[in-house]
Amino acid sequence: MNSLSTTVPSLDVQSRHGNGHQPSRPMRPLSSRLSQRVVAVPPSGIRKYFDIAATMDDVISLGIGEPDFVSPPPILQAGILSLQRGHTAYTSNSGIFELRQAVARNLHQRYGARPYDPEKEVLITVGVSEAMYLAMQAILDPGDEVIVPQPCFVSYTASVILAGGTVVDVPTYARDNFAVTPEAIRAAITPHTKALLIGFPNNPTGAIMDREGMLELARIAEEHDLIVISDEIYDRLVYGDHRHIMFAALPGMAERTIHLGGMSKDYAMTGWRVGYAVGPADLVGAMRKIHQYLIMSAPTVGQEAALAAFNDPATEEYVLQMVESYDRRRRLIVNGLNEIGLDCFEPKGAFYAFPSVARTGLNEHEFCERLLVEEHVAVIPGSAFGRGGEGHVRCAYAASVEHIEKALEGMYRFVQRHK
């Protein structure tokens, strides 16, 4: 007889405690079961619309902020090869060294960043999502304030709160093309301000910042000794004659900036889960310490695929084609929205349009809910992304031209009924 079957401890436990389902002590009150930090994170403002949309089978969605392309073939090949070669183990905590080198080289060549040390100043993460979380955990103590211009990507606020910090939100406005103004930042600074968190090109507005505007922010960071976290995940998705400016490449900024970037958007690699953080050795070292306990290493197959994104020259052609395709769709949707009467400033980056719905007399929540129910078109209320988003909706144009045209037709009919 197999020895395991002779000693079944669970039988013993059951005989001593009856049916084994009686709680021996009363449970603590539900209100104190969760950490206050988690309770303080606001619920997602977009869930409701996805729940309604899930009950319909013919929704035209401009709701999802994700490329509609499959990753380019050289990236797919590198991923397949990685698996076929049996590269299924962890990598170094910091990520594959060649990938760290490629990240540093890319930022240097493309944006004039200083040559970052791949050993100490580059960390490969599970997307910018993880990098953002690590950055906040690495720099914040309770009571520290982080200035967060809004509207912004939903995880910024959550990452600050989960690290015990306090969010100081600074709204941006359509009249400024959703750029951050130096006056607003100066007004938000207190003796507790530790960091400034910016994200350009911006999700949800599609706004970019010009060099002058960035230099103003750099001056403020220097004057008030702020750490700057700059999420530049959409760096390659810029249109027209705009050239992306890397914040850390501005004079004096490399030593106080944590630059976050990733593969998800530029290379259509959301599911591979690879991003990176680049910055001064002390800050990146602290992030690495957390990362090595939390994650060990980013997915190996994703890292090897990301290496091909940087190093295989054949990838570039595909990136340029994707950018051109987004740009065509950008012009289609922005012109369409303005013709319908939903005023839309020109987004110069990412893949979002952020029109005002003021013309309809509805607020952004009523607009989204009724548009979904009446026309089966899904867009996201701007206020789900924070202050400054009121009266606007986010339309992601990483959708097919046919989808965008149908969505515009639905919005046209809707606005005709509600103007």
Ligand X SMILES: Cc1ncc(COP(=O)(O)O)c(C=O)c1O
Name the site residues for ligand X (rule: CB under 6 A): 65, 127-129, 153, 199, 203, 231, 233, 262, 264, 270, 275
Q: Which is nearer to ligand X, 199 or 381 (CB)?
A: 199
Half-sphere exposure of 229 (CA within 13 A, CB side): 29
Minimum distance of ligand X from residue 179's CB (angstroms): 16
Minimum separation from the CB atom of position 271 to ligand X (A): 9
Nearer to ligand X, 65 or 388 (CB): 65
Specify the residue, 274 or 415, whose C-beta has the smaller distance to ligand X.
Answer: 274
CA dihedral 361, 364, 367, 369 (to 10 degrees): -150
Minimum CB distance to ligand X smaller for 147 or for 408: 147
Q: What are phi and psi of 278, to 5 degrees?
A: -135, 135
- Whose Cβ is closer to ligand X: residue 194's or residue 265's? 265
Provide, rounded to whole angstroms, the least separation between the CB of residue 201 and ligand X.
8
Shortest reach from residue 210's CB to ligand X, in Å? 19
CB of 66 to ligand X, least distance (A): 7
* Among candidate residues 121, 161, 168, the one with its CA nearest the CA of residue 140: 161
- Report yes or no: 94 and 246 within 8 Å, Cβ to Cβ: no
Nearest Cα neighbor of 197 from 238, 236, 165, 245 is 165
Q: What is the closest distance, in whole angstroms, from the C-beta atom of residue 104 to ligand X in the complex?
A: 18
C-beta closer to ligand X: residue 207 or 408: 207
The angle formed by the CA atoms of residues 361, 155 and 97, to the nearest 5 degrees, is 145
On whether the CB atoms of residues 134 and 125 are closer than 8 A, the answer is yes
Backbone angles phi, psi at 17, to 5 degrees: -115, 35
Residue nearest to ligand X (CB): 127
Distance between CA atoms of 72 and 45, rounded to whole angstroms? 32
Could you tell me which residues come within 8 angstroms of residue 163 by beta carbon, excluding any fewer than 6 positions away?
A: 133, 136, 137, 139, 140
